[in-house]
Amino acid sequence: MSAESLSEQEWTGFHHLRLRGVIVVGDDPDLAAMADALERQGLAVRRGAKLVPTPDGRAAHATWARLEPGSDEAAIADHVYRSFLPLNRDLLRLCTDWQTRGGVANTHDDPVYDWSVIDRLVELDERVGPVVRRLGRAVARFEPYRPTLRDARRRVEAGEPDWFASPRCDSYHTVWMRLHEDLLCATGAERNAEPPVE
């Protein structure tokens, strides 16, 4: 078997694995079947209950995930990526302000302060929405990002603070990081070439 023989569903599953870096297979039979297929082809390896991409898998994914240079889809992705970078700097500042206050951990016992940060998150989400929707209309794999980000935002607004930046759920920051990585994969841009966050 070779990577070219992966089904579209397996590629989608492998894409999710690549963006997350690791997936816990557990007792899920669908995940187990996908893990078996990826292992047989040398694209991923199990480490206990966890599945991680191999170097060959990362290389195969890079070819699959890169949009065809010169295509309309690639042009839109390039534009969106450039629009995304200043928004990304704003989101990183927001997450810092959410997690720390005055140089120490934010204990979230001041609702006035927390709501000032949440209000900024809402404003940022309104700015990023049209950008992400445009890309989702052009490239199907980006379509879920907008509703997933919106759901995380709404949960933060509803009083679930973990949905702001916790890595233990599909928090706003967690989904945003996957979107960022997916944009890098789609455009072929290099993270280390991005302007530093001030």
Where do the domains of the chain lie? 3-65, 72-193
Report the percent of the chain where pLDDT is more than 90.
82
pLDDT tens digit string along 122-133? 999 999 999 999
Q: Of residues 8 and 62, which shows the higher confidence score?
A: 62
CATH number for the domain running over 3-65: 1.10.10.10
How far is Cα 117 from Cα 87, in angstroms, rounded to an integer? 15
Instruction: State yes or no: pLDDT of 2 exceeds 60.
Output: no
> Is the whole-model pTM more than 0.85?
yes
Instruction: State yes or no: pLDDT of 1 exceeds 50.
Output: no
Instruction: State yes or no: pLDDT of 32 exceeds 50.
Output: yes
Instruction: State yes or no: pLDDT of 23 exceeds 50.
Output: yes
